[in-house]
Structure formats: structure tokens, C-alpha cells
Structure 1
Amino acid sequence: MFIVSLIFWLVGLALLGGGIWLITLDGSWYYALTGVLLIVVGAMTRSRRPTAQLLYALFLIATAAWSLWESGYDWWPLATRLGLFLILAIPLLIPAKDASRAGLAVLLPVWAIIGVGTLASMAVDQHRIEGELNRDVVAESPDTGDSPKESWHAYGRSNMGQRYSPLEQITPQNVDNLELAWQYRTGDMMGPDDVTETTYEATPLKVGNSLFLCTPHNWLIALDADTGKEQWVYDAKVPDESSRQHQTCRGVSYLPPSNGDPDAIDVQAIDQPAENQAAIQCDAQLFLPTSDARLVAVDPATGARCANFANNGELDLMHNMPFKQDGFYYSTSPPVVADGKVIVAGSVNDNYAVKSPSGVIRAYDAKTGELVWNWDAGNPDETAPIAEGETYTTSSPNSWSIASADEELGMIYFPMGNRTPDQLGMYRSPSEEKYASSVVALSLETGQVEWVQQFVHHDLWDMDTPAQPSLLDLETEQGTQPALVIPTKQGDVYVLNRKTGEPILPISEKPAPQGTIEGDYAADTQPVSSLSFRPPKLQESDMWGATPLDQLMCRIQFKSLRYEGQYTPPSKQGTLVFPGNFGVFNWGSIAVDPKRQVMFGMPLYLAFTSTLVPKDGTDLGKTNQGEQGINENAGAPYAVDMKPFLSPLGIPCQQPPWGYVAGADLRTGETVWKHKNGTVEDMTALPLPIKMGVPGIGGPVITESGLVFMAASVDDYLRGYDLETGEQLWQARLPAGGQATPMTYLNSEGEQMVVQVAGGHGSIGTTIGDYVVAYKLKAQ
């Protein structure tokens, strides 16, 4: 029994030492007391005393009661609190020769009852909200944009950003009959010199009978929409650059031909690299943003550059920038084509330098590339084209996500980010404060501000507005209102009148934690929408791990960090940021059904930590590590160290679920259903499809039949859901991570296709690949 005793002693000593540390942080006494008990049981076990079994039985009862008090009847918290101790009991259940069995008679039933009771909790889902979204049509003939029914002409299908298709061939009743129709490999793979955030996030366009998509290294590819056969490839020849935070392309944009038929293009199969062709005069045009800060216009039919646009089809977006560091500015999202203009925003590296490029938004003539207007949040009133030799505002707030537009109202809507550095607010001007972390409506004609609605005041947490606004006409008690629906990282979904910016669903202001570094301040209050997926404030009892040992370490980390709830200011001590930098919602946004007036989203819950690191001459080591790690903030007195809040085993410190799907009524603001989404199949060494509710990044698409398609989660599946109930109806295994938003269309035979780009996501560790996969119903 020496080995058994030794195990008890080692586990006991670890829990005792860590438990005393936790007590000094004003944390739970449970772990220290457990450590003492295990050491005592270890000693008793070596001498084969029956009292060891009796004592351990009492310990299991007490631990079960404590676990239920802390977490309720919830499988994952219970299993990880009790699992190790139930395993440690097994040697005590083996009777020794000539030993009294009195202790065994008590321990065995206690062990069995607690074990079976814990296993039974798998059948209980405390986190599930059951309900049914409105199944009736509220708006008979809603505006779904100018994309033809069978096509997909913009990132969100149209400039309304609804991610809603009026197709209804694939239904909840027949979705089980979907099968793989074709598969294509782009050839663009993540390389050894790429930055971590190298990702496939593209949603293809479908124009005529061709698909157009971009790859992380800015290849623009045309495919036959029936077969997936390659028609041409344009390689923008983007050089490697280690200073980029992101190497991705979410999509391209389309300018229809002047003949009035947006699908009238005759795409040709080109057997040479399209970039080698001579530039031509273009009627229809595709616009490709590149990660070396260019905007390229190409002919949809051949992939040749458009000689009529800018400099032989290429526009240098670094013009008039105050600072031009390589890799600090580029566009990861498609521009908007509206009102005869191509309107471009860009991404500015977070927290690399105080003096960085501007976040200016610019509108160019879509045919010629001539600058029509520019809107700079640092100088918001001057929108006339900037003169040669002048510069935009240094580091002003940028818009890195996707915009939407309403040409009838003459407005374009941008989700706004923050001024870099994110965690240091002392560099911001009053105008930058006004427009940061907001949605801003600009005039399509002049670029002048029509209205702005801010979602975070004096943002110190990287809570950029990350998602494309969705536009629909909403039926309210006051009549039909032109609505804008936009989700945020902090978990709110705002429903605004897109003409005036006024709230349709109420917005309130709530007090926020105070106390910042010298020279900065925190806003007294922060806005909250009445439609919200914000999580409750974390408690020590929410800390989690695979075993009590890493749970204990997570509790120590939790108690060591500064945390007074959401919006706890950054600190040198280290601050817990929850929801974290990935946000409850990110660039995948939501999908809205303009007929039923409902939304489908994928709320995510992962905590991050943020630590301000004084630059007092000490060696910071490797800096500018992107989304996770130390970023230098050159020119500022503090670097910032950001990372997910993980246990020593590399799993989230807060207990699951971490990812859901949810449905809400946009007219009432009610969350009608909410279910765990995704499995741990691709997160662990054992490929077990256990439905845990896992993280993800990507977005959904709704069809008129009441189906939703979405991949996004960290297991490699494309799934189909019932919009009404949220139930998963279908899934298909993907060859790589599906961190892109799918789309759907009709092919030339009138068959509805569902297409998913599956290439993985470098920073969340999903399977890397280069696939485009298409599904359709089996032939009957």
C-alpha cells in the first residue's frame, strides 16, 4: 500500500500548499483542508486502518455537498471536482487480507451513489433555454437587397448584411439528404514564415454561374458554380511581412456591369496566371483588398487587372498616411460598392506603436479610383479629398470589419474600432473618443456624419465593434421602422433606427468599475442594450480545470487578478477581461430573417487577461505577438500582455459551456432559445464528439425555409439548424477548420448549393487546409 499512500501524500501536499496560497488571497479553504485530509488518509492507508475508509467516505460526502453548493447539478463542474477523488477511492475499495470490512461497508455505497449521481448529471442541461421563435411571416415582401434570388453579390449577400437567402429548396425536412457535390483546393496554405493569425475567413460571391473568393495570401479565384472547376486565379503577389497581426481575406466586392443585368458576365477558363495578363478596360469589376495595403480591381470574366481603375488596376492605400510602417495597415474585409463608389476601410495593428497609420475611411470612384471623399475620426468634419502632401490623423479609430449600406437613404454604416493603444486612453482627442467603439452612419455622397451610436465609453479593453450591421425593416408598435441590428464584443445586440440612430430597443447606462493608472480615467457608466447576451460576473466558484489541481491554480490566478466585473480597468497587477477580446460576438456577426423578424447568433464566452507592463528598461523579450502575447506600444510607457485565461493544461479557466447558438425576437428583444454548440472532438487527444459548448469564430446564414447553416466552432463541422427551435438537424465533417461564413445559391440546373470555405484558423488552432466544399440534395 506504500504506492497508494504516496499518491495520497503527493496530491495532499499539492492541495495543501496551493490551498494555503489561495487562503492568503481570501479564497476558499476547501483545498487546504482537503490536502490535510488526504495526507492523513495516506498515513492511515499505509497502516491499513479501516478508519481510512470511513474518513474518506465522509470526505466524499462533504466534497459532493460542497460541489453541489458551488455549481449546482451540472456535469462538467461536478465531474472535474469529484472525478479525481472517486478514482483515488478505488484502492481503498480493495479489501486487505484479515482486515475489518466495516470501513468498506460504508465507503463502497457512498462511492457508488456519488459516482452514479455524478454520471446522471450528464442528462441535465442547466444552461439550455427552450423555446420557439416566431414561425409566422411578419413582413410579406421584405427588402433583402439588390442581389438576385439565385445569387450572392456581397459579403452578407447584399449590402444590407442580412446573411439571409430567399431560397427554400433545402428545408428542415430534407436537409438530411444533403451530400457533398464537389470539393476544391486552392493551393494557398499557411507557411512557416506566416504570422499566427493566418486564417481562411472568406465568404465567396456568386455572380452569374461563377464563385469568386479570396485566400489568406490574397489570391482571387474564380470557380464554376456547378462543378467547382477552377476558371482563373489572380495572385496579388503579397510579400511576407512579420509585422502584420493578421494574414487573412474575408471576401471581395463586386461592381455590376453597366447594362443593368448584374449576373451578365461570361467567365472564361484561363490556363495562365491571371496576373500575367495585360490590363484591360473593365465594365464589371471585382475589388480585392490586400494585406500589403492595396486595392486591386480585376475583370470578373478573365481575372485581368482593370486599366481604367487607379494605376493599371492597383490603388496604393498608404497614400497620405502619417506613418507607413510595413505591415501596420491593410484591409482584411471587403470594401463596399455603392452609389458608384468603392468605399474602403482598414485594419491598424493593435498596440504595436502609438504613432501608427490612420484609420481613415475613403470613398473612391468605382470606375477610375479617384478619391471622392475621406472620413477620418480624428478630423471628422473635413471630408473633402485630402491634398497631396497632407496627412490623415495619426492612429485614429479604424473600421476593420464589414460595413453595410442603404442607397435609398444614402447612408453607409461602419462598425468602428478604437485608437491604438487599446488599453491606454490618454492619447485620444475628443473626436476620437466620440467615434471609437461605435457604429457611425456616413453620407454616401459626402462622407459627412449622419449619426453615431457608441457602445463603449473610453474603451480600455479592445471592445471594437467587430461585426457587420444587419439592415431590415422592423415592425414595431410605432409602425415599420428602418432598423439596423449590430452585435458587440461585450454581448449586447443593439437595434437602432438606421435613419436617425435612435434606439428601437431600449439602451440604458450602468455604473462601471473605476481606478486606472495615473494619467488615465475610466468612464463612470457604460451602455447596455435590452437585447443582451452578456454573461454574469465571474465568481471564484466558476473556476474550472480537468482536475482539482488545475482548478486550484485557476482559483489562485483568479484571486490574484484585478476583477470587479465587466469593464474592470487595465492594471499593472493584471486584469481579468470578461467577456474577453474574442468577444461574445465577433466579425461573424449574426444573421437576421427579415420575414420572421428574428435573429440567429453564436454567443461565445472566454475570459482574457490584460496586464500593463512598465517599460522601465527591463527586457520585455519578444514583443508584437499579435492577438495573444506582449505588444510593445512603442512610444508609450507601458507594453501590454494579453492572453486567454487558461489553466496550466491550456484549457479555459472558467467552466464550460463556452459557446452557444441562440435565437432572439428582434421586435421584443427576447432571447427565445439558447443551446450549447459544438463538441470537443478536435480539442483533445481522444476524438470524442462530446457536446460541451465550444468556442468558435465565423457566422451563420439563414434561408427562407427556416434553416440556418454555420460552421465556425473549433470542431471541424458544418451544421444545419432549425431556426425556429435551434435544434441541430444535420452536420457534415469538414476537411479543415470552418472559420468562415457559408453562403448558398442556385446553380445553372436550379439546384440549391451550400458552400463553405474550410482552411482553418491559425490563432485558435483548428485544422489547417485550403478547401472549398459544396453540398446539394441527393438526386431523387
Structure 2
Amino acid sequence: MLITLTALVFALIGLALGAGGLWLAVLGGSWYYVIAGLGFLLTAFLLFRRRSAALIVYALLILGTLGWAIWEVGFDWWQLGPRGGVIILLGLWLLLPAIRRRLGFASPSGEVYAAGALPLAAAFIAAIAVAGYSMTQDPLDLAGELPVAAAAATPDLGGNVPEGDWHQYGRTSYGQRYSPLGQITPDNVGTLEVAWQYQTGDVKLPDDVGETTYQVTPLKVRDTLYLCTPHNWAIALDAASGKEKWKFDSNSGMNPDRQHQTCRGVSYHADPAATAGSPCAERVYLPTSDARLIALDAANGLVCKDFADQGVLHLEEGMKYNPAGYYYSTSPPVIVAGKIIIGGAVNDNYSTEEQSGVIRAFDVDSGALVWNWDSGNPDVTTPLPQGQTYTTNSPNSWSVFSYDEKLGLVYLPMGNQVPDQLGMGRSEHVEKYASSIVALDINTGAVRWVRQTVHHDLWDMDVPAQPVLIDITGKDDQPVPALVGPTKQGDLYVLDRRTGEPIIPIKEIPAPTGAIPEDFTAPTQPISDLSFSPPPLTGKDMWGVTMFDQLACRINLQRLKYAGRYTPPSLEGTLVYPGNFGVFNWGAVAVDPERQVMFGMPTYLAFTSRLVPREQIPPKEQSQKGSEQGLNRNDGAPYGVFMGPFLGPLKIPCQAPPWGYVAGVDLKTGEIAYKHRNGTVHDMTPLPLPFKVGVPGIGGPMITKGGLAFLGAAVDNYLRAYDLTTGRVLWEGRLPAGGQSTPMSYATADGTQYILMVAGGHGSVGTTPGDYVIAYRLPKE
């Protein structure tokens, strides 16, 4: 009975592998699964016949699989495991005496001898040896070191922010995410401990939209921290103790039509003409998810009534279409030269009648409109006359701006025009400014230069990250004012920020064709010589827990339309890689302006998209709105789009890990120094496993003068400290919730350096929700 059941199992596996493998082979994929299926069927037949040759055949199957797997992926344990796991376990079953005795023979005296185990045991030992060796290897790891010596003795940090403060989202107007504090070093970071912990009280509720997320980086001015929460509360805390000073609730309410419920930060401004201590001499500006900008007194959280309309600027003004919940600002505005400059986010892929992506500058004291730059009407920046509206559905800028006040320029990361996957009927201006980095004159809003990162974007590859400003020493040893622009497709654009011309070369490469008949593709696409763009996916890159879901992923890959990066959307279904989350997203990168190096977190997660003809889209439901996943309606367009991560039958990524890295770049040479897997599956599986697979993440890094980089972001709940020189983890602190925000650092009056992290989780990646603000410091002596 035992042999019969074993043979039946082997036969069923053989049929499944053979049928699936034949399908894959017909589609143009590997023939291995057909051969493996035949090996299982032959083993099953010999088991039914009680032939000891079954063990020899199966030993050959193990050795053949081992050779094929090493040929495909080398000694990468995370890819070898799924290929051989089931086969090795079944081989161990066949080695059991209870099986081998039934395949043995009887001597003339009647004694029963078990079938010989040597061939199968030898194959089994060889497989175990390869597995053991591969666990000590990481063929995808790039080891190296960043230069330690300072390349600039007195680097430009971007403004006169005191060393112990953090006045803007990226600390200064340059967005470097660099703290000039050096008390915490690689030698002592291992002793970091929690100094204080505060809970905001703003927690995710059952009625909240899925993407309710904590993405805030607090500001620190003198002895006070300022932050916001997903439901648009503004909070002030004592920097030394974490004690609450004041809290303001904007009452932005809940609206199920919002795509995002988040706040990345507030903006701080001190009026140089105001008398110290007078009401609203220092202000905190809070953007809200119902399209308001509220001015608050930094001292007490009271509304500054002399700003705009009783302290509130209504950002929906001038919009032709304004359904509630579809336009708001998730990122803090920048304040420069007496102006507060702000953009806005729209719900992706909901309608062709979206709000304008206009960028506006208001008087920081009165709220009066100073200029407006609408990428749909870019040459007219004078304030919009009463009764007129901005261009409907023009490309927007939802992320964080940076600026160089000496050059008089503000730098915008621009998005694409909705619908993202349909390019029909776009205007000349849209084709120029969508998915680009744009430099505007701070005083007039006039365009100084534009650098497009994707032509005729059909993939939602908007520029998601704050451009980072840094001076890079040139060939003549003179500093060149540069801009580093991270993109979703993994390119890092290193540009002269005066002109937009490349410092690290950019070239145009041929792009895939084959758009739907109504649309077209750009014949070429730009790519930077400094790029984390991954190579195209192939069958060997498919993954699963077992060989069965890996086979399913291989079949699905062959069924999708895919010719590499920039394969156009299709009715059949297209693989989008890099995917919609991007290699880099709003978390951007951090730079050390002294050493002129960069630290970032490239993430790799393929998506799929499938165009859906209008007549096949069901009637509108509340659940069908712009999102990175599911049906995106695109009302008013001939097609909607169904999109989401490229997942296997078990709802894990079809592509093999690593899905997330940390990486270091020497910006003087443009060379990638190191690239290491980042994060574990601790919070991705039912058991808290510590396996360092390299997991996805969303959030941003920070660098300190002490030679460290700090990063949460990964989908395991940890804040980590890395040696900036090598990228190796030196310390990790367990967080009570997902750390999908960007850490910052500050010092108190007694000289103590703190590392601050907000841990509240992220709805899209499913990390643990919470409301924690946690400060770390070295132990007191």
C-alpha cells in the first residue's frame, strides 16, 4: 500500500510537471519541466512495478535538476531552494528503509534485502552539499567601499541651518538628508537606546482608505519638533523629552474617494520682520488631504488668521473640475524669498477630467497668489484672473521640491498626465514636461530648464523623489553645482543644476514598439550612465516557494507581453519592470556633501498592466478608483487599466529575490561601490524568520557626519544603522510598527545627538500600523 501511494504521488507530480512544462515549452520557455515530469512518471512506473531501478532513475533526476539549476542561477540559495526542495524531500522519502525494502529482492533462503541506496544517497548528498555551500554565498552581492576622505573641506549644505536643527523635509533646501552631527559613530552606534517614545493618537481606523500611511519626517527648530499625522494633525513636541507641547486637528475628515491618507511633513517659517515672541512670528504650515494649507502659530498651534482666508488657503481654487477627495497635497511646500510654493497630488487613473497639476507660489504672510506655473500652459505665469481655470489634467508634482536661493531656482519632480497608461491626445506641453525635472525661477515661475526622464510615458514613471542638490568636485578641482534626481526606473540623473545639462552622461537607447493602434511609443528612451535599472526578466528569474508555483510564474511570464523596459501597455497584459512602485520612490536618496557620496535603497518589484476596453468596465463602485492595484477606471478614456504586482499562485512575487537592496555611489566618479540585500522576512511570514532575503521597502535614508546611514523603510519593522563606507549593518532597533518614513537627526542644548524615527506603517505594503515617534541616543555616562 505504501509503495502504491508513493507511486501515485510521483505520477500526479509527473503529470502536473509534464502538462505545465509542455505548455511552457510551447510558449517558448524551458523544456526542463517536461523532462522532470517524464522523470517523475518513469519513477512512478518503476515504483508500481516494485523495481529498484526507480531509485536510480530518481537519482539521475536529482543530479540533472542540480546541474540545470546551477547552470541557470549559480549558487544562489534563494533560487536553488524552490527548484530542488520538493525533489530533495521526495528523494529522502525514497531512501527510507520502508520504501527500499519493498523495492528489494529475496535471497534463495527467503531473506528480503532492501534496494541499494548508494546512487540515490550519493545524489542526495551532492544536493545537500551544494545547498550548504550556496547558503554561504551571495552571487548578487556587490562588495566595495566608498571613499572616506572628504572631497570638500567646507561643503555647501544649503542654507544656514544650525548643526543641531532640521528645518526642512530634507533638513535644508538642498534635500540632502545629511546631518552634520558626528557624536554617533560606527564604533558606538551598537549601544544606541531608546531615549523617549511618544504616541500621536492618530491611528488607522476601519473606515480609512487602504493607503493610510505614516510618511512624515519631523522638523526640529531650537528645542521643538514639529510633525504631522496621516489625518492631518499638527503636533509640537519637546525635543529633549518627547513631551507634547501642542496638537492641532485640521478636521480634514475621511473621504473614501481619496487615494492617499498621508502627510509627509509640515513647513516652518520665521518672519524676519516680526517682533520676537509676537503672535505668528514663527509659523508652521500644514497641508491637508482635503486640499487646504493651514498656517499655525509655531508657539502654540493656533491658526494665524491673517493668512489667506482666516488662516486657510483653499487649494482647489482655479480648478475646472473639483470632486471632493481627488486633489490634495501630501508633501510639505517649500518657503523661499517670501513665497510658499506648493504642488498637489491627484488620484491616479480615475478620470480624464482631473484637476490641474499647477504649481503655485503664494505670499508666505498674506497667502496672496504671486505666480502660477501650469505645465499645460507653461508660458503664462502671471496670477490666474478671477473666473478662469487652470488646464485640466496637466502633469502635476506631488512630491517634495528643493531650491537653490543663490541661483534663484526651485526644482520640481514632475508626474505624468492621467491616464498614465494612455498617451493619446496629449498636448505638445504635456509631451515636454510630463515625467521630468523642471527648474523654475523662484520669483516669476518661468521655466529655466527641463530634463525629461521618460518620453511619452505610458508606465506611470513619474519622477517621484525630491531632487537632491550637492556640489560635486569637477575635473579641474572646482565645485560644480549639481542635482541628483532619482527615478522610478532606477536611473540617477546627475545634472548641472544651473542648466540641466548632464554631468554624468545620458544617452538615448532604442525602446520597444507595439503600442495599441490608437497610441504610439517613443522610438528611444533616455538612460543615465549611473543607473540601478535591472536587467530584463527571463524565465530563470521566476520564483516560488516550490517548483510548482515557479512553473506557474514562468508560464505567466511567457504569456505576458514583454520586451524589456518600456514595453507598452496592451490588451493581452504587459509586464512592467521596473514596476509602478519604482526602483526609487518618494524616499529619494541621501548624500554626504563632504565625501560626495550617495546612499540609497533600490527596490525591485515587477508589476503587470492590462488595458480594459470601456465596454468591459463594470458600473462605478466606491472601490474602483485610482490606485497602484486593481481596476483603474480612467473615466472618459477608451480604456481602463487593471494593474498590480506580478505575483504567483501563493501571492508572493513571481520574480526571485532580492527585492530590495542598500547601495552606495561615489558621485565624483559615478561608480556604484556596493549593493547589498536589505531586510528580512521577519514580518512577511507567519513565523518570525530572520532570513535576509532582501525585501521591498518604501521610505528614505539619512546620512550623518559620523559615517553612518540610517534607514527603516523595509517591510520588516526595523530601523537600521549602516556603515556608510561599506553598507554593512552595524545596528538595528526593533520598531513597534512599520518604519515607512525617513529618519532624521538633531541635537539638544546639552550636545546630545538623537536619531528620530516615526513608525506608523504603510497601507500599500501592509506593514504594521501604529502612531509611534521614537528617539534614540547613546547611553548617558
Q: Same fold (TM over 0.5)?
A: yes
SS at match of 2:482: strand
SS at match of 2:608: strand
Question: Are residue 195 (structure 1) and residue 209 (structure 2) matched?
Answer: yes
Larger deviation: 138-147 or 614-623? 614-623
Larger deviation: 9-18 or 717-726? 9-18
Q: CA–CA distance in 2 between the matches of 1:668 and 1:313? A: 48
Q: CA–CA distance in 1 between the matches of 2:37 and 2:352? A: 49
SS at match of 1:463: coil
Query: Structure 1 regions of 5+ residues with no counterpart?
Result: 266-279
Q: Which residue does the alignment assign to 1:93?
A: 95
**Alpha-carbon distance, 1:705 to partner:** 1.3
1:172 to 169, 186, 199: 186
**Alpha-carbon distance, 1:363 to partner:** 0.3
Task: Give the number of equivalent residue pairs.
Answer: 764
Give the residue type in structure 1 aligned to 2:483: L
1:237 to 251, 254, 268: 251
Pairs within 5 Å for 1:21-420: 21-95=23-97, 96-97=100-101, 99-100=104-105, 101-146=114-159, 147-258=161-272, 281-420=279-418
Q: Which residue does the alignment assign to 1:276?
A: none
1:185-221 deviation per Cα after TM superposition (whole angstroms, max 9, x unaligned):
1111111111111100000000121111111110111
**Alpha-carbon distance, 1:322 to partner:** 1.4
**Aligned partners of 1:514 and 1:522 also within 8 Å:** yes
**Aligned partners of 2:617 and 2:633 also within 8 Å:** no
**Alpha-carbon distance, 1:390 to partner:** 0.3
**Aligned partners of 1:281 and 1:308 also within 8 Å:** no
Q: CA–CA distance in 2 between the matches of 1:436 and 1:607? A: 22
Give the direction of change, closer, same or farther, for the CA distance of 1:107–1:470 in structure 2 (3 Å limit).
Answer: same
Q: CA–CA distance in 1 between the matches of 2:271 and 2:365? A: 11
**Alpha-carbon distance, 1:228 to partner:** 0.8
Q: CA–CA distance in 1 between the matches of 2:538 and 2:199? A: 46
Give the residue type in structure 2 aligned to 1:571: S
2:429 to 428, 431, 443: 431
**Alpha-carbon distance, 1:144 to partner:** 0.8
SS at match of 1:231: strand
**Alpha-carbon distance, 1:685 to partner:** 1.0
Q: Which residue does the alignment assign to 2:647?
A: 646
**Alpha-carbon distance, 1:281 to partner:** 4.7
Give the residue type in structure 1 aligned to 2:400: I
Pairs within 5 Å for 1:572-587: 572-587=571-586
**Alpha-carbon distance, 1:348 to partner:** 1.2
Pairs within 5 Å for 1:537-616: 537-616=536-615
**Alpha-carbon distance, 1:3 to partner:** 2.8
1:136-179 deviation per Cα after TM superposition (whole angstroms, max 9, x unaligned):
01111111122211100000001110000100000111101110
**Alpha-carbon distance, 1:257 to partner:** 3.6
Give the residue type in structure 1 aligned to 2:43: V
**Alpha-carbon distance, 1:69 to partner:** 1.1
Give the residue type in structure 2 aligned to 1:398: N
**Aligned partners of 1:163 and 1:702 also within 8 Å:** yes
**Aligned partners of 1:245 and 1:627 also within 8 Å:** no
Q: Which residue does the alignment assign to 1:487?
A: 486
Give the residue type in structure 2 aligned to 1:667: K
SS at match of 1:377: coil
Give the direction of change, closer, same or farther, for the CA distance of 1:53–1:625 in structure 2 (3 Å limit).
Answer: farther
TM-score when scaled to structure 2?
Answer: 0.96
**Alpha-carbon distance, 1:43 to partner:** 3.1
**Aligned partners of 2:211 and 2:764 also within 8 Å:** yes
Q: Which residue does the alignment assign to 2:9?
A: 7
**Alpha-carbon distance, 1:667 to partner:** 1.2
Larger deviation: 642-651 or 87-96? 87-96
Q: CA–CA distance in 1 between the matches of 2:86 and 2:339? A: 63
Q: CA–CA distance in 2 between the matches of 1:623 and 1:330? A: 19
1:406-452 deviation per Cα after TM superposition (whole angstroms, max 9, x unaligned):
11111100000001000000131101110110100000000000100
Q: CA–CA distance in 1 between the matches of 2:520 and 2:616? A: 25
Q: Which residue does the alignment assign to 1:732?
A: 733
Give the residue type in structure 2 aligned to 1:36: L
Give the residue type in structure 1 aligned to 2:317: H
SS at match of 1:423: coil
Q: Which residue does the alignment assign to 1:273?
A: none
Q: Which residue does the alignment assign to 1:767?
A: 768
Query: Structure 2 regions of 5+ residues with no counterpart?
Result: 106-113
Q: Which residue does the alignment assign to 2:110?
A: none
1:122-141 deviation per Cα after TM superposition (whole angstroms, max 9, x unaligned):
11111111111110011111
1:602-639 deviation per Cα after TM superposition (whole angstroms, max 9, x unaligned):
01111000110111255377522512111100000100
Q: Which residue does the alignment assign to 2:625?
A: 624
Q: CA–CA distance in 2 between the matches of 1:374 and 1:710? A: 36
Q: Which residue does the alignment assign to 1:272?
A: none
1:713-735 deviation per Cα after TM superposition (whole angstroms, max 9, x unaligned):
00000000111111111100000
SS at match of 1:749: coil
**Aligned partners of 2:75 and 2:133 also within 8 Å:** no
Q: CA–CA distance in 2 between the matches of 1:326 and 1:49? A: 73
Q: Which residue does the alignment assign to 2:111?
A: none
1:643-697 deviation per Cα after TM superposition (whole angstroms, max 9, x unaligned):
0001111111111111100001111110011111111111111111111111001
Give the residue type in structure 2 aligned to 1:552: L
Give the residue type in structure 2 aligned to 1:21: W
Q: CA–CA distance in 1 between the matches of 2:229 and 2:8? A: 55
**Aligned partners of 2:456 and 2:521 also within 8 Å:** yes
Q: Which residue does the alignment assign to 1:270?
A: none
Q: CA–CA distance in 1 between the matches of 2:21 and 2:101? A: 36
Give the direction of change, closer, same or farther, for the CA distance of 1:394–1:301 in structure 2 (3 Å limit).
Answer: same
**Alpha-carbon distance, 1:45 to partner:** 2.2
Larger deviation: 360-369 or 3-12? 3-12
Q: CA–CA distance in 2 between the matches of 1:221 and 1:6? A: 65
Q: Which residue does the alignment assign to 1:447?
A: 445
Give the residue type in structure 2 aligned to 1:640: V
Question: Are residue 712 (structure 1) and residue 726 (structure 2) matched?
Answer: no
Give the residue type in structure 1 aligned to 2:524: T
SS at match of 1:630: strand
Q: CA–CA distance in 1 between the matches of 2:470 and 2:93? A: 64
Q: Which residue does the alignment assign to 2:109?
A: none
Q: CA–CA distance in 1 between the matches of 2:148 and 2:86? A: 47
**Aligned partners of 2:333 and 2:340 also within 8 Å:** yes
**Alpha-carbon distance, 1:103 to partner:** 4.1
Q: Which residue does the alignment assign to 2:702?
A: 701
**Alpha-carbon distance, 1:336 to partner:** 0.4
Q: CA–CA distance in 2 between the matches of 1:565 and 1:322? A: 39
Q: CA–CA distance in 2 between the matches of 1:317 and 1:771? A: 30
**Alpha-carbon distance, 1:39 to partner:** 2.5
SS at match of 1:362: strand
**Aligned partners of 2:274 and 2:281 also within 8 Å:** no
**Alpha-carbon distance, 1:53 to partner:** 0.4
Q: CA–CA distance in 2 between the matches of 1:87 and 1:153? A: 58
Give the direction of change, closer, same or farther, for the CA distance of 1:618–1:726 in structure 2 (3 Å limit).
Answer: closer
**Alpha-carbon distance, 1:236 to partner:** 0.6
Q: CA–CA distance in 2 between the matches of 1:381 and 1:413? A: 17
Q: CA–CA distance in 1 between the matches of 2:5 and 2:101? A: 18
